[in-house]
Amino acid sequence: MVTMSLPAVSSSAHAPFHVMAKAIGPICNLDCKYCFYLEKEQLYPNNEKWKMSDERLETFIRDYIAAQPGPEVSFAFQGGEPTLLGVDYFRKVVAFQKKHAGGKRIETAFQTNGTLLNDEWGEFLAENNFLVGLSIDGPEEVHDALRVDKKGRPTYKQVMQGLHYLRKHKVEFNTLTCVNAVTVQHPLKIYKFLKSIGSKYLQFIPIVEREVDTAAAKLGLDFAAPPDLENAPASKENPRMSEFAVPAEAYGEFLVKIFDQWVKRDVGKVYVQLFDNALQKWLGIPGGLCYFSETCGRALAMEHDGDVYTCDHFVYPKYKLGNLMNQSLGELADSPGARAFGEAKRSTLPKYCRECSVRFACNGECPKHRFTYTPDGEWGLNYLCPSYKRFFNHVRPAMEIMAQLYREQRPPAEVMQILPSAAGKEALKALARCLIGNRPATIRCAACLTRMHMIIGYAYEVPFNVNPRSTGNARGKACSS
Summarize as ranges the residues that interact with ligand SF4 (CB under 6 A).
Answer: 290-291, 296, 299, 311, 313-314, 352-353, 356, 358-359, 362, 364-368, 382, 385, 388-389
Q: Which of residues 309 and 458 has its CB atom nearest to ligand SF4 in the complex?
A: 309
In the complex, the smallest distance separating the C-beta of residue 16 from ligand SF4, rounded to whole angstroms, is 14
Alpha-helical regions (H) of 225-328: 250-265, 273-282
Any idea what DSSP says for residue 270?
Answer: S
CA angle 440, 442, 445 (to 5 degrees): 125
In the complex, the smallest distance separating the C-beta of residue 179 from ligand SF4, rounded to whole angstroms, is 15
In the complex, the smallest distance separating the C-beta of residue 101 from ligand SF4, rounded to whole angstroms, is 26
In the complex, the smallest distance separating the C-beta of residue 299 from ligand SF4, rounded to whole angstroms, is 4
Rounded distance, CA 367 to CA 382, Å? 7
Q: Which of residues 364 and 424 has its CB atom nearest to ligand SF4 in the complex?
A: 364
CA distances from residue 355 to 49, 352, 359, 399, 441 in whole angstroms, order as listed: 49, 5, 7, 21, 22
Contact 159, 115 (CB under 8 A): yes
Q: Phi and psi for 173 in degrees, rounded to 5? A: -140, 155
Cα Rg of the chain, angstroms: 24
Rounded distance, CA 415 to CA 465, Å? 26
In the complex, the smallest distance separating the C-beta of residue 239 from ligand SF4, rounded to whole angstroms, is 15
Q: Which of 390, 391, 418 shows the shortest CA–CA distance to 404?
A: 418
Q: Which of 164, 125, 147 shows the shortest CA–CA distance to 34?
A: 147
Q: Which of residues 296 and 332 has its CB atom nearest to ligand SF4 in the complex?
A: 296
In the complex, the smallest distance separating the C-beta of residue 287 from ligand SF4, rounded to whole angstroms, is 13
Q: Which of residues 40 and 368 has its CB atom nearest to ligand SF4 in the complex?
A: 368
Alpha-helical regions (H) of 287-436: 329-333, 336-347, 351-354, 359-362, 385-407, 415-418, 422-431
Q: Which of residues 19 and 456 has its CB atom nearest to ligand SF4 in the complex?
A: 19
In the complex, the smallest distance separating the C-beta of residue 324 from ligand SF4, rounded to whole angstroms, is 19
Active site includes 307?
Answer: no
Rounded distance, CA 403 to CA 405, Å? 5
CA distances from residue 105 to 68, 72, 171, 172, 299 in whole angstroms, order as listed: 11, 5, 19, 18, 19
Q: Which of residues 149 and 343 has its CB atom nearest to ligand SF4 in the complex?
A: 343
Give the N- to C-terminal CA distance of the chain in Å, as an integer: 78
- Catalytic annotation, pick one of 63, 260, 312, 334: 312
Question: Which segments of 113-222 are extended strands (E)?
Answer: 131-135, 173-179, 201-206
Active site residues: 312
